[in-house]
Amino acid sequence: MTDPEIWETAGRWFDKTWYLLRNPDVARVAIEPLAHYLRYGEAEGRKPSAWFDPSWYRAIYRVPADESPLAHFLTRRATGKFLPCAALYPATRLLPWRDDADAGVDLFDRYLTDSEVPERELLPDLAVIRPSGLIDATYHGINGSDRYEADLDPALHYCRIGWWSGLRPNDMFDPDWYVTTHPSAAHLGVNPLTHYILEGEPANLRPVAWFDPAWYRDRHAVPSGQLALTHYLAHRGERLVSPNPLFDAPWYVARHGHAIPPGADPFSHYLVWGALYDIAPSPIFDARAWRHRNMAPAGAPDQCHSPVTARNPLVHFLRTSLNAK
């Protein structure tokens, strides 16, 4: 495909009206929008349309400095293997659009054509996160910084504001830890929770050091099609499910159930009390011995000022083990 043919078929990916509205200097000098973009705009980091990010695209796909990111995408858009921007990451896995690539159709264009509604914000992550069961409304209420945020639907808040701010969607998913330990999510710069739902858990990546999705799925017979983490969040209040093989919920409840507040689950209780008193999480892990060999005493200054999870011997063991792999 020659250069003129590339630009003649650009369609929504070079939106002249959009480009002029967001670059009034181009309108003032009366330069043809596409000519300005090719000559100046792309080099200056200007976007050609709402859903194509040239700087991000060049970095992710290592487009040579002498090649246009937009041209690179336009010649490959029907493969479905090259995202035009991070925000459209979910589209490649959403029905019915994910099948368009097999038919040689621009699935991103089809997705936007089917999904965009005038004057309404489109958040592709929302279609993945809202039905996942991984947004804890209580967390949303606690973390909202003002009344406007607190009044938002929790899933909408997380997709629009929360993940950009580094907030956790629940206490068993740590976005910072996830992207640090799983470089594929960090590389794309996408919503970490969306990545976990679509790629992370299917590949048995952990959402936090102390939740083992592969073990949990097998141990608790999670139904096909349901996320192990969703199952755990839904059933942990029953005090029968454990997030990893070193924590035995029924065993722990038999010994410490009287101290667990109503509404609290055993592992949440253990995270705090295990950090303070080196309580054993099961017969097969000696928390006191692990602290003695590998950690400072519970009352040491560096321990007192650390997050409670960092002071828990089991958490410390799990993080150490994972870092050693």
pLDDT in tens, 142-186: 655 554 566 678 999 899 988 998 889 999 999 999 999 988 888
Q: How many other C-beta atoms can be found within 10 angstroms of the C-beta atom of residue 156?
A: 17
pLDDT tens-digit map of 69-122: 999 999 999 999 999 999 999 999 998 998 888 888 999 999 999 999 988 899
CA–CA distances in Å: residue 237 to residues 28, 31, 56, 255 = 63, 64, 42, 17
Cross-strand bridge partners of residue 120: 117
% residues pLDDT > 90 (the chain): 76
What six digits make up the tokens of 251? Answer: 């065993």
The pTM (predicted TM-score) of the whole model is 0.91
What six digits make up the tokens of 247? Answer: 């924590």
What six digits make up the tokens of 218? Answer: 């097998």
Which residue matches tokens 């250069």? 3
Cβ(152)–Cβ(135) below 8 Å: no
270: nearest Cα among 242, 229, 228, 290 = 242
What six digits make up the tokens of 105? Answer: 């159709």
What six digits make up the tokens of 62? Answer: 């290592």
Domain spans of the chain, in order of start: 3-124, 127-203, 220-324
**How many whole angstroms separate alpha carbon 73 and alpha carbon 61?**
10
What six digits make up the tokens of 307? Answer: 């997050």
Cross-strand bridge partners of residue 285: 282
Q: Is the peptide bond before 207 cis (omega within 30 degrees of 0)?
A: no
